[in-house]
Structure 1
């Protein structure tokens, strides 16, 4: 079979070359995103693997169906850049990647500690030889209540790791897990908003939870709450977050992903003009830590996503082929 691998990044090249060398199937590697013109250039493709830089809409899926390409994988955990419902209607199998949750869970707790100890201000001061303590008094995790929204693999790992800090942990998820209950208490979402000193998001993006953190929900939170988002940027209404920071309703935010990050995410902007005013304004707050959507970015996780991206197509193709032959 032949697999077109799009969006290839420098950090993926070594692992993909290794797979290509030891693989019976043909891999065509390109750093281009998936597009209609790229599809027109390809013949006899059986599967396509992408990253989040490619947006797979109805036009792309129609072209894939026309060219009888039945397998699509994303080398990411999230798949909101793919119209999965339409893909299903066209008979296209869609796969997403997997990695162990430790990378994002570790990153999440790191953001909490950075914000609690006001490390951003401390580091910036030390760079100009300002070693004063004014405004740097922090808080300890053991004194606080942490609310975890979403107890899937990552959320559950965050909870387990947080248990060692001695903080009170509450959680919300429509599907409760017994193993989580030894570390955290499940509560209704409104109660989590009201009682948490820190709130951290670990849910996929859906139509139902788009902008779930907005003015109305922020009003339910404690004054001085800290907000962490290592999940999906569109879960938070950026302008409402900015308003809450200005009003000191939110005391700090750890943001690894932002809803308006297209054209900025994973790019070296350099001296180019950025027209993303919300991003520029948000990151200037002394109590906001904005990182470049890289909570996932460890060697272990990247290798796992690459392998998933290729193997899922191979397994799907060969399984279906075997069934058809029978």
Structure 2
């Protein structure tokens, strides 16, 4: 009996270890990595010479978390820092930012709108406010697609507010997210994770889901690394890239109609990434080597433009906005404050 009880106790301890240790170990690894890291290497790029807040900004950025909301997916949790401030509703605020319902311009987009790599005063919405002389509210959020922005636009009208202008700054996430082989033309970046969690209906599977999620993430990463396309498929899947383009065309069309119905003017912007135009990338060798990702933009952006023209959707093509010899990009899509200032000035001229 004693031997049986000892074996049972050992088995239970092994079971508990199987369930708890992988996710706990992963969390501990991430915490130690943040504590011991010299910081985000992007702060050392030539873009930030003479910018004394860069290192602190990226430290703050690593501490920002998110929380879930139906239909729009997620928003950042409230945060108060020296370079990043997020209000109680999950929106990033900049100096002299208006209340949402009082803003003259609502600005929607993904992380390039939210502004990693820029302090509060140097995001695109903040610079647009400075250049245009109109109050601008930043609705941007990391990994947002145009459809999430459209859902958020509907929610915001229901909450109150009648801005004179609404800006949608899209394109980058339609490609880098939806062109992943495991995702579809209507996916968000978290679709696979949510599906895996919801399929775990048994208690045992719920307990094991964090461990299985880590395992699945690792296997997908290894599988993608072993393939020449790095896990993307838009370059070889014409049907998918056409569907991605059609979804953006519909989202912009619906957003335009909703804005006009509420007495505003709609500005759709096809945003630049490092693979469009001829920007300076000499300081980013990893980006220059990202041929599989570049192939996705080379496949999808022309299709987007073709469908937008066919549908008669007016938009601003700013895909070459960052051409030149200045160091603007800090990765494949985000730019440093000087780039955001250029974007703010360009879009200020488009508001009428």
Fold-level similarity (TM above 0.5): no
TM-score by length of 1: 0.29
Could you say which structure has the higher strand fraction?
Answer: 1
Q: Which has the higher helix share?
A: 2
